[in-house]
Amino acid sequence: MSDATPAYATIADLSERIASGLLTPVKCAEELFARIDTFDARLRSFIRRLPERALAQAQSAELASRSDAGVLNGIPYAAKDLFDVKGVATMAGTRLLADNIAEQDCTVVRKLASVGMVLLGKTHTVQFAYGAAGINHDHGTPHNPWHAAPHAPGGSSSGSAVAVAAGLVPMALGTDTGGSVRVPAALCGIVGLKTTIGRVSRAGVYPLCATLDSVGPLTRSVEDAALVYQAIQGTDPLDETTAGIASHDVLRGLKDGVKDLRIAFGETVFFEDVEREVEQAVRETGQVFRSLGARVGNAVVPEAAAAWAEKKRPLLIPAEACAFNRELLDDHLAELDPSIGPRMLTGRSLSAPDYFALLRRYAQLREQIKWTLRDVDALIVPTTMAVAWPLAKIDASPESYLDYNMRVHRNTGIGNILNLCAVSVPCGFTPTGLPIGVMIYAKPFQEDVALRVAYAYEQATQWHTRHPDLAWTKSASATAVS
């Protein structure tokens, strides 16, 4: 590590120090809590800290035998406020759920506890996880750490991305329904893994759209994402989508490189209307992959365009979200975030026949893309069409909000529809210092391939080693986050 503190250390770095006795889990947690105290008043990534639970878990991790403890033992993390944590409210971004106290840990949090990870707290999210910009007008919007003026952190796993990017935790859990892991990862300059539905249990995670919801980690390195994914994947009787899906080892081949792998830029729709600086940075990744021995080309993916062009597509997520949040929408609409409630209500216009027809169409496209990608190991596309915009620009009007929301979740949302797995990694910065992300798509259930390709790129570049300057958080003139 570049310095002696846990800030900006990777999980692999921290694990090595803990195993060698140079750092204890308790000391690690205490130092990160101190860092949170220093910076998070401005960043607003955490909605709730859990020092008592964290200290107890850290003490338990210290008691673990060094020879028996795994690589995640004693490693701190945070969880998006959709994940049930026993005795803590799961508020899903709204004060209306302040009394929604979880009776037990969700499956993923329980799995991480079993391998010794230390939960420091819960992070902010967009209300009901329904928004890619990362804006929450109820609880407040986390501040993208790469700019002193409030910029979009990306959503809906906004607080998780900000916490990792700012060096407050090495990993945070997120969910991804239309890009909610990958979008904030790209806008905040970190790594985000979108898993195939069925790989990771969603039991005990507040749902947005069960047809598309997935769970994944946000980290500072691809290896860290692989380490966490290895621990949280697997069947769970509480989530029927995981039934019959065997776990796989993504660590064994992670560092095998990309020599002779078939990597293609995904054409048809992914590069349309993309900001010039974003496209340039993503296209330049081809040179890196070629230098590593990959066979780089282009692939036309008609299923991507077809998925996005479906007329009823915009109604699927709000339709399922309406069903789950019916009482809140019926009885408390005026108390909900004005950018969320009315949009969610549009889902009630989707008829049952149209709903089932849409699901059947998506099932067809998921089968077709397997054939389209039969000779392709990974697709390379921009994670988002745009970098982080100022919040004031996004919130200037409902039209501006919807425009930006589309710009940052089109490319990711297509992957949810087609049930592809994906990793977003940093691939550059704008002249003003805002991060750019490239997305590596792999076929369903091939997280090992997506992570392997992402790792090779990351190790051949230096983008992931850059960190934001947080001096602005201590300045009295820094603009408050709305």
274/386 Cα distance (integer angstroms): 6
Name beta bridge partners: 472. Answer: none
345/130 Cα distance (integer angstroms): 12
Q: What is the pLDDT of residues 178-207, one digit of tens each?
A: 999 999 999 999 999 999 999 999 999 999
Q: What per-residue confidence (pLDDT) applies to 363?
A: 97
- Asked if the model's pLDDT at residue 165 lies above 60, the reply is yes
Return the closest-CA partner of residue 459 out of 266, 218, 292, 278: 292
| Element housing 36 (H / E) | helix 25-43
Do 172 and 144 meet the contact criterion of CB atoms below 8 Å apart?
Answer: no
Name beta bridge partners: 111. Answer: none
- Asked if the model's pLDDT at residue 479 lies above 50, the reply is no
154/142 Cα distance (integer angstroms): 9
Q: Is residue 287 part of a domain?
A: yes
Q: Is residue 86 part of a domain?
A: yes
What is the length of the chain?
A: 482
- Asked if the model's pLDDT at residue 159 lies above 60, the reply is yes
Q: Is residue 217 part of a domain?
A: yes
Give the lowest-confidence range in 73-87, 316-330, 463-477.
463-477
- Asked if the model's pLDDT at residue 475 lies above 70, the reply is no
Q: What per-residue confidence (pLDDT) applies to 67?
A: 58
* pLDDT, mean of residues 126-142: 96
Q: What is the pLDDT of residues 59-69, one digit of tens each?
A: 999 987 565 67
Q: What per-residue confidence (pLDDT) applies to 69?
A: 73
Three-class SS of residue 428?
strand
Q: What per-residue confidence (pLDDT) applies to 474?
A: 78
Per the prediction, the chain carries an average pLDDT of 95
- Asked if the model's pLDDT at residue 481 lies above 60, the reply is no
Q: Is residue 322 part of a domain?
A: no
User: For residue 27, which amino acid is it?
Assistant: K
Q: Is residue 98 part of a domain?
A: yes
* pLDDT, mean of residues 65-89: 91
Q: What is the CATH number of the domain that holds 405?
A: 3.90.1300.10
Q: What per-residue confidence (pLDDT) applies to 473?
A: 86
Write down the pTM of the prediction.
0.96
Structure-block tokens of residue 300: 């036309």
Return the closest-CA partner of residue 381 out of 315, 308, 293: 308
Q: Is residue 328 part of a domain?
A: no
Give the Å distances, CA to CA, from 410 to 85, 265, 274, 385, 472. Answer: 31, 16, 11, 8, 32
Domain interval for residue 75 = 13-301+361-474
120/77 Cα distance (integer angstroms): 6
The total of structural domains in the chain comes to 1
Three-class SS of residue 391?
helix
Do 411 and 385 meet the contact criterion of CB atoms below 8 Å apart?
Answer: yes
- Asked if the model's pLDDT at residue 87 lies above 80, the reply is yes
Q: Angle, to 10 degrees, between the axis of helix 302-309 and the axis of helix 313-324?
A: 60
Q: What is the pLDDT of residues 294-321, one digit of tens each?
A: 999 999 999 999 999 999 999 999 999 9
Q: What is the pLDDT of residues 36-57, one digit of tens each?
A: 999 999 999 999 999 999 999 9
Q: What per-residue confidence (pLDDT) applies to 1?
A: 40
Give the lowest-confidence range in 193-202, 280-289, 467-476.
467-476
Please state whether beta strands 76-80 and 171-176 pair in parallel, antiparallel, or not at all (unpaired).
Answer: parallel
The catalytic site residues sit at 80, 156, 180
- Asked if the model's pLDDT at residue 133 lies above 90, the reply is yes
- Asked if the model's pLDDT at residue 379 lies above 70, the reply is yes
* pLDDT, mean of residues 371-399: 97
- pLDDT confidence band for 421 (50 / 70 / 90): very high
Q: What per-residue confidence (pLDDT) applies to 2?
A: 40
Q: Is residue 244 part of a domain?
A: yes
- Cβ count near 114 (within 10 Å): 11
- pLDDT confidence band for 476 (50 / 70 / 90): very low
Give the Å distances, CA to CA, from 379 to 121, 253, 263, 296, 442. Answer: 35, 19, 6, 10, 7
Three-class SS of residue 79?
strand
Contacts of 199 (CB under 8 A, 6+ apart): 214, 229, 233, 242, 245, 421, 445, 447
Q: What per-residue confidence (pLDDT) applies to 5?
A: 82
Looking up tokens 């997506």 gives 450
